[in-house]
Structure 1
Amino acid sequence: MQKSLSEEKYKEVRSYFAKLTRAIVPKALVVAVISGIYLFHISFGNLPPDYNFSSFQILLSLKAVLGLWLGLRGVLQVFFGIQPFVFKGHRLPFILVIMIIFLSQIMYSV
């Protein structure tokens, strides 16, 4: 896109997408975190003390913890301006998203 547009038009289009992203992403983060917490509660609910988790439930819980961490990190950054203390870059969240995708594929085959 940068090669086909003039410098001025490219900056205009880029700023439009930045404004659109800033308007949509925070609301999507909140919906993702709340729906994830609700689905986690529905999936596991009240378990008896002698209950053994299936491999699917183990993978689901691992995926839920990773997703919850990513969602809470995003909500804290966007709405409260709290920057993460340890992982300030984008590499770890990207790796966690890739891990969630792989876990989804593994869950499909289990």
Structure 2
Amino acid sequence: MISFVYNDTRYELQPVGSSWNVLRCESGGRRVTVGAGLFPWKGPADACCLAEAFVQTAYPVGVKLVGPDVQHPMTVGDLRIVGPNVGHPNFIYWDKDSTSCSPT
């Protein structure tokens, strides 16, 4: 069985016919199915790369927070529209107290 570690959790790929199941290994030896019947006809190396991408999407380690861009509002008549500041997102991690950008 092929295994990899992501965010301090071990995952395994289990071949089932021509496809793969992705399992999350929990404490006590228990395995939980994350995805079944994935990546048909892929070899072990390709399936492992695809499984890692799948797990990173299914279990993100944080969220990207995009705040308002108050420095560059748009105006339509008297209406002031404040859009998102996509140039300076903060990435907030679940497992530590940190952000990528400090508030200004």
TM-score, normalized by the shorter chain, greater than 0.5 = no
Which one has a larger percent helix, Structure 1 or Structure 2? 1
- Higher relative CO (Cα under 8 Å, sequence separation at least 6) belongs to 1
Q: Which has the larger radius of gyration?
A: 2
Which one has a larger percent strand, Structure 1 or Structure 2? 2
Structure-1-length-normalised TM-score: 0.22
Structure-2-length-normalised TM-score: 0.23
